[in-house]
């Protein structure tokens, strides 16, 4: 009987459910325990936050929440024989490893601590943090050396699974079928990385499940097999739900085309097959892999300048005219101010008001002003003066949601690519030995996958106008300044319709914000899904807060709310 690696996740971001570590370590006590527990703490915005922490304190730069979680989790993991792997080291994995050793000493837990480094790139002008995304081989080397806890800096989210898998099964990329096995682990890791998004969190069809189940979803785990296949599940008795829909949604999250590239392997998402194996059990199989690309992705975080915002409340009648008046007044005041007009000025009117409303709040619309400039005075004192002087001189009912404040710094995230040989991937073993981690020798440049043949179009029939979301689910997210929207359906009849109906042109019509931007459509027949990538929608990334929804979290739900002609047979 083949061995199975049971690997769970207890964090999808810095600030996720604090008790999840304990829940995952104790939830499988009745014969269903874990071999490895992972935690993902590093989003793009987190790297900027940690960079600012490090400027203030050279011993900081890691996720302090993880260290507090280990005050209880370290002993529990040791008792149960569970290895812990987390990227909580952020910009200072060595510092976190030292803090963990000190904690283990205080607790009397004989935990062997290791860490992975080498992801930090040489300093660049104006860059607060520059990190390459490493793969899982360094983690595997630390586990091979007997580490009980491995903390890393910037690795790919999936490396938290590929590393333990390489250690547990002894996989090597050059072995026959090696890339396919690694690709299976990448897909399993991508499902686990965002925690409860795989168990019913943020799920488009949530109304189809018992609300009590979704009140507190349990965290996911994967039963990874030696051939690279996996079963996604959760601990018995925990909340949430695992079905092919929740797994599909997470597979589409923050991805692009059929080739999902990483430092260990390029996984072919167009080969993924899902099957409901039982209650809260979804099998992933058939994943094919290819040699990784010759470069590593890197994230560059820098301070972009200063921003400020002000929200005007427009109540009752003549909302458009009120908005026009106050816009003209503020623009005139900014032009006459002591500083030049801010480099970027953006106005957005949200018509949240209703006619003949029963409350003042529901009778009001919101006019949002966002300004950016390299000079804090231009977005602080200048904007404050322009707004305050209008308090008694503007539209009837003038007020704002909060008084104007000082300008706050904002960050910019940029993506770069560096040759693999320029990044010194290093495993620092429990005894302090520094081990250079070799990269896979075979490399394959990325190329688009030709669009696969579409299914036969459905026969024509009666249609009814209604929201796309009556038929299709969606999940959206961010990658730097770009956004993706994955759209999927639940049966073959709906897939025949979706594949031929939701073209790039219709996508742009439904989401007018994307009309002038590059949009690509990627077809994933095995998931009955289309994945759209929109270049530049999010400006300079989440930290710059360029739009109302800076991480495109709601973009998919906006798309689902738009009305199209739906075949009546699908309703």
- pLDDT tens, residue by residue, 223-248: 999 999 999 999 999 999 999 999 99
* Contact criterion met (CB below 8 Å) for 32 and 54: no
Report the distance separating Cα 511 and Cα 289, nearest Å: 34
CA-wise closest residue to 466 among 570, 562, 558: 562
Q: Which pLDDT belongs to residue 2? A: 64
Out of 28-42, 138-152, 264-278, 557-571, pick the least confident.
Answer: 28-42
- pLDDT tens, residue by residue, 173-200: 889 999 999 999 999 999 999 999 999 9
Average pLDDT, rounded, for the chain:
95
Q: What is the mean pLDDT of residues 8-15?
A: 97
Q: Which pLDDT belongs to residue 386? A: 85
CA-wise closest residue to 149 among 195, 90, 196, 81: 81
Q: What percent of the chain has pLDDT over 90?
A: 85
Q: Domains (ranges, CATH) in the chain?
A: 4-299+415-436 (no CATH), 301-412 (3.30.70), 463-570 (no CATH)
* pTM for the structure as a whole: 0.94
* Contact criterion met (CB below 8 Å) for 545 and 440: no
Q: Which pLDDT belongs to residue 407? A: 87
Which residues, in sequence order, are CB contacts of 336 under 8 Å at separation 6+?
Answer: none
* Contact criterion met (CB below 8 Å) for 562 and 513: no
Return the sign of the alpha-carbon dihedral for residues 553, 272, 440, 171: positive
Q: Which pLDDT belongs to residue 29? A: 64
Is 130 in a helix, a strand, or coil?
strand
Q: What is the mean pLDDT of residues 287-303?
A: 95
Q: What is the mean pLDDT of residues 196-223?
A: 97
Torsion of CA 388, 390, 395, 401, to 10 degrees: -10
Q: What is the mean pLDDT of residues 104-125?
A: 95
Q: What percent of the chain has pLDDT over 70?
A: 99
Q: Which pLDDT belongs to residue 32? A: 67
Q: Which pLDDT belongs to residue 288? A: 98
Which residues, in sequence order, are CB contacts of 183 under 8 Å at separation 6+?
Answer: 228, 265, 266, 267, 268, 287, 288, 289, 290
- pLDDT tens, residue by residue, 367-389: 999 999 999 988 988 888 888 88
Q: Which pLDDT belongs to residue 1? A: 40
- Does residue 313 or residue 337 have the better pLDDT? 313
Is a pLDDT exceeding 60 seen at residue 31?
A: no
Report the distance separating Cα 517 and Cα 534, nearest Å: 7
């Amino acid at each position: 009987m083949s061995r199975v690696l049971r690997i769970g996740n207890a964090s999808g971001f810095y600030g996720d459910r604090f008790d999840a570590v304990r829940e995952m370590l104790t939830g499988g006590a009745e014969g269903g325990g874990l071999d490895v527990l992972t935690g993902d703490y590093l989003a793009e915005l987190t790297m900027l936050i940690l960079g600012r922490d490090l400027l203030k304190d050279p011993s900081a730069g890691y996720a302090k929440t993880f260290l507090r979680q280990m005050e209880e989790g370290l002993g529990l993991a040791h008792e149960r024989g569970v290895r812990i792997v987390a990227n909580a080291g952020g910009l200072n994995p060595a510092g976190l490893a030292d803090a963990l050793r000190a904690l283990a000493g205080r607790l009397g837990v004989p935990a062997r601590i290791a860490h992975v480094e080498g992801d930090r790139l040489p300093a660049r002008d104006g860059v607060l943090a520059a990190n390459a995304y490493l793969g899982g081989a360094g983690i595997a080397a630390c586990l091979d050396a007997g580490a009980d806890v491995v903390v890393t800096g910037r690795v790919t989210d999936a490396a938290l699974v590929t590393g333990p898998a390489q250690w547990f099964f002894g996989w090597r990329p050059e072995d026959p079928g090696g890339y396919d096995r690694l690709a299976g682990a990448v897909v399993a890791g991508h499902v686990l990385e965002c925690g409860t998004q795989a168990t019913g969190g943020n799920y488009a069809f949530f109304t189809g499940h018992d609300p009590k189940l979704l009140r507190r979803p349990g965290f996911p785990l994967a039963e990874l097999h030696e051939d690279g296949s996996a079963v996604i599940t959760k601990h018995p008795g925990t909340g949430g739900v695992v079905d092919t829909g929740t797994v599909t949604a997470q597979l589409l999250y923050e991805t692009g085309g059929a080739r999902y590239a990483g430092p260990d392997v390029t996984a072919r998402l167009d080969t993924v097959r899902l099957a409901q194996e039982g209650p809260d059990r979804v099998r992933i199989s058939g994943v094919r892999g290819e040699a990784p690309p010759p470069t590593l992705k890197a994230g560059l975080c820098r301070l972009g300048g200063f921003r400020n915002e002000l929200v005007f409340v427009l109540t009752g009648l003549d909302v458009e005219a009120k908005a026009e008046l106050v816009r003209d007044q503020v623009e005139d005041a900014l032009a006459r101010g002591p500083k030049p007009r801010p480099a970027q000025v953006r106005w957005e009117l949200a018509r949240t008001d209703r006619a003949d409303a029963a409350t003042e709040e529901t009778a009001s619309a919101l006019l949002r002003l966002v300004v950016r400039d390299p000079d804090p005075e231009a977005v602080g004192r200048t904007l404050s003066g322009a707004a305050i002087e209008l308090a008694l001189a503007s539209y009837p009912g003038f007020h704002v949601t909060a008084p104007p404040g000082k300008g706050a710094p904002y960050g910019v995230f940029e993506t770069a690519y560096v040759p693999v040989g320029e990044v010194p991937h290093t495993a620092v073993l429990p005894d302090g030995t520094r081990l250079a981690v070799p990269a896979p020798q075979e490399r394959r440049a990325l190329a688009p996958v030709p669009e696969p043949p579409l299914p036969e179009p459905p026969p024509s029939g009666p249609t009814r106008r209604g929201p796309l979301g009556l038929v299709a689910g969606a999940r959206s997210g961010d990658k730097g300044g770009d956004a993706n929207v994955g759209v999927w359906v639940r049966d073959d009849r709906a897939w025949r319709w979706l594949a031929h109906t939701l073209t790039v042109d219709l996508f742009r019509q439904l989401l007018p914000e994307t009309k002038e931007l590059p949009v690509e459509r990627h077809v994933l027949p095995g998931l009955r899904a289309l994945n759209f990538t929109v270049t530049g929608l999010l400006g300079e990334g989440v930290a710059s807060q360029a739009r109302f929804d800076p991480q495109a979290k709601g973009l998919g739900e906006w798309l689902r709310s738009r009305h199209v002609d739906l075949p009546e047979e699908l309703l």
